[in-house]
């Protein structure tokens, strides 16, 4: 048992998520941000990797007051449960994700996380421990499903998305491809990590829709 997992990202025309300095870049505009907000509002959880928290300091809250009101009307919390995959508990205790907006936060750590960092984070978030030196994403999905997370959005970055895809944990991939080229062999891409070697291991996608949006293209894929 695991949640239905949607990966949503904005990439440049050359497939990058940000610059090689991991500086956040405006790839899409307000129309796309509103589209992302709608998906987020429809999910029970939203998850990012620690690299994204350190680079962007996102809050990952639902932004539209109407969507928040609709969630509350349905008896759901204002925001999806916010989850950080953070093996060594590096989330800064003053990170926006821990302080902006109401609701539950989960920091997912590995057995080897230093105890003093765990102590610093404990007042701000629920901690889930899984995996020895790195978070065990399969086990995490199982645990999240047990807490009632049925639909989960993953917003990046490239290392976490690779981890999720290579473990066969992604159902849908939604990507906005923008009209800029970022370049740089060290700039994060949609799926970083080690990469597959054998063609037989490549996850195969099924194209479900393509549409022009803002100055780029919105692509929906299903993972077969
Ligand atoms: N354009 C977009 O839509 C978008 C969205 C999110 C992030 N970003 C960008 O992505 C960059 C961050 O990406 P990143 O790759 O450095 O970091 P990331 O956010 O993918 O976090 C990676 C970290 O997650 C942790 N982790 C623990 N267990 C793991 C596992 N089993 N598999 C994979 N990771 C695991 C590791 O500590 C790893 O270093 C930033 O520059 C950010 O701006 C862009
Ligand atoms: N859709 C989209 N277009 C972009 O051009 C871009 N750079 C991102 N990147 C993802 C971004 O990092 C997070 O969506 C915000 O950082 C959320 O942060 P807030 O909740 O607003 O604090 N996303």
Beta-bridge mates of residue 126: 106
Closest ligand by atom to 184 CA: 1
Let me know: does 34 contact 197? Beta carbons within 8 Å. Answer: no
pLDDT in tens, 197-217: 999 999 999 999 999 999 999
**Whole-complex ipTM:** 0.98
Question: Tens place of pLDDT for every residue, the chain, 224 residues?
Answer: 999 999 999 999 999 999 999 988 999 999 999 999 999 999 999 999 999 999 999 999 999 999 999 999 999 999 999 999 999 999 999 999 999 999 999 999 999 999 999 999 999 999 999 999 999 999 999 999 999 999 999 999 999 999 999 999 999 999 999 999 999 999 999 999 999 999 999 999 999 999 999 999 999 999 99
Stated as kind and residue range, the H or E segment containing 25 is none
In sequence order, which residues have a C-beta less than 8 Å from that of residue 170 and are 6 or more positions away? 5, 6, 7, 154, 161, 164, 203, 223
- Chain centroid to CA 158: 9
pTM value?
0.98
What's the Cα-to-Cα distance from 147 to each of 55, 75, 140, rounded to whole Å?
Answer: 28, 16, 11
Q: Give the pLDDT confidence of 34-48 residue by residue, as tens digits.
A: 999 999 999 999 999
- What is the CA 10 to chain-centroid distance, rounded? 12
36: CA distance to ligand 2 center in Å?
9
Using most ligand atoms within 8 A of CB, pick from 6, 11, 85 the residue to mutate for ligand 1. 85
Query: Domain spanning 4-223 has what CATH number?
Result: 3.40.430.10
Choose one of 10, 106, 157 to mutate for the ligand 1 pocket test, by most ligand atoms within 8 angstroms of C-beta.
157
Is the CB–ligand 2 distance for residue 60 below 6 Å?
yes
Placement of tokens 């990966």 in the chain: 7
Contact, 174 vs 219, CB < 8 A? Answer: yes
CA distances for 16 relative to 23, 43, 126, angstroms: 11, 25, 32
């Amino acid at each position: 048992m695991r949640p239905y997992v949607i990966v949503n990202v904005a990439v440049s025309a050359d497939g990058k998520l940000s610059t090689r300095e991991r500086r956040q870049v405006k790839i899409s505009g307000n129309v796309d941000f509103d589209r992302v907000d709608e998906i987020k509002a429809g999910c029970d959880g939203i998850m990012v990797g620690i690299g994204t928290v350190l680079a962007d300091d996102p809050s990952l809250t639902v932004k539209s007051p109407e969507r928040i009101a609709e969630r509350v009307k349905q008896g759901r919390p204002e925001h999806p449960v916010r989850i950080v995959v953070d093996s060594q508990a590096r989330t800064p205790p003053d990170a926006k994700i821990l302080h902006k907006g109401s609701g539950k936060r989960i920091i997912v750590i590995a057995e080897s996380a230093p105890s003093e960092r765990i102590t610093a984070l404990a007042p701000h978030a629920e901690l889930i421990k899984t995996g020895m030196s790195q978070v065990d994403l399969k086990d995490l999905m199982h645990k999240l499903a047990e807490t009632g997370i049925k639909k989960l959005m993953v917003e990046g970055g490239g290392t976490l998305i690779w981890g999720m895809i290579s473990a066969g944990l992604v159902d849908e991939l939604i990507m906005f491809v923008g009209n800029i080229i970022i370049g740089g062999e060290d700039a994060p891409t949609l799926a970083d990590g080690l990469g597959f070697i054998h063609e037989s291991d490549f996850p195969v996608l099924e194209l479900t829709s393509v549409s022009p949006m803002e100055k780029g293209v919105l692509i929906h894929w299903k993972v077969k």
